[in-house]
Amino acid sequence: MKTKFLISAIFLLILNIGISQTLQNIVNQASTSLNNGSSGNNSSNPLTNDQVVKGLKEALTIGATNSTGIASKLDGFYKNPALFIPFPPEAKKVKDYAKQIGLSAQVTKFEMTLNRAAEEAAKNAGSVFLNAIKGMSISDGFAILKGGNNAATLFLKNKTTAELTQKFTPIVKAAIEKVQLTKYWNPIITKYNKIPLVQKQNPNLTSYVTERALKGLFKLLADEELKIRTNPAAQITTLLQNVFGSLLH
């Protein structure tokens, strides 16, 4: 009886070792495939570092192009709840007062024009994004490939927000002038600031629209990145299929 028990125990031990070794081999192979930048469907032809970075740049370029296209169309911000730019939060008292004295239509028009300024500015964002994408290094590329579903967007945001803000500000300022934003803002703020003893309000509208416009664009870019990473149908080129295919297997 003891002999049978001992034989059974040895058999189970060998079986477990075999299973563990098999699983370890699978993990090792997957890790090697990813580190080499190889496609999950064709591990005999590993991608080079340059191809991986090229694929990621291609993904970001597609994402940036799609994002700016969505944001810059009419109502791209104004009728998109995820991007809509509201009345400046720090000036909520101004908005409330304006509605109390019968300026609700002007408030609505002002908010619409805020969003029109962002839509107008977004038309010029594509080239700024594309110039930033060109600077991606090989180490950046592999960090992005192995990162989360928004790793490329975060890379672009962290690397370029300061530069984008600097370049975007005059674009937004010109857009504000084009859509005559101050035409709807000045009557509201002038009436409010005439109230005795109130703290004067005058938010920097250029800064506000710039910040919210960039936030909206990065939101769209993150959405595009997620699609490319997780949806094979969004991997519209062979290079994208090879680079991101290894992450889906």
Q: Using 50, 70 and 90 to split pLDDT, how confident is the model at 17? A: very low
Give yes or no for residue 107 having a pLDDT over 80: yes
pLDDT value for 210 = 93
Q: How many CB atoms lie within 10 A of CB 230?
A: 13
Mean pLDDT across the chain: 79
Q: Looking at the predicted structure, is the pLDDT value of residue 5 above 80?
A: no
Mean pLDDT to the nearest integer, 90-103: 91
pLDDT in tens, 167-201: 889 889 998 999 999 999 999 999 899 999 888 88
Determine the pLDDT at residue 45.
57
| Distance between CA atoms of residues 242 and 248, nearest Å | 10
First vs last C-alpha separation in the chain? 47
pLDDT band, very low/low/confident/very high, at 248 (cuts 50, 70, 90): low
Residue 214 banded pLDDT, cuts 50, 70, 90? very high
Tens of pLDDT, residues 43-87: 445 678 888 888 888 888 999 999 999 999 999 999 999 999 999
CA-nearest of 92, 85, 68, 123 to 212 is 85
Helix, strand or coil, per DSSP, at residue 39: strand
Helix (H, G, I), strand (E, B) or coil at 27: helix
Is pLDDT above 70 for 32? no
Closest C-alpha among 28, 56, 91, 13 to residue 244: 56
How much of the chain, in percent, has pLDDT values that exceed 90?
37
Model confidence pLDDT, tens digit, residues 117-158: 999 988 888 887 888 788 888 888 888 888 889 998 998 888
Task: Please tell me the distance from the alpha carbon of residue 228 to that of residue 232, in angstroms, as a whole number.
Answer: 7
Tracing tokens 């998109």 back to the chain, one arrives at: 80
Instruction: For the chain, give the percent of residues with pLDDT over 70.
Output: 80
pLDDT at 238: 82
219 or 239, higher pLDDT: 219
- Per-residue model confidence (pLDDT) at position 114: 92
pLDDT of 70 reads 95
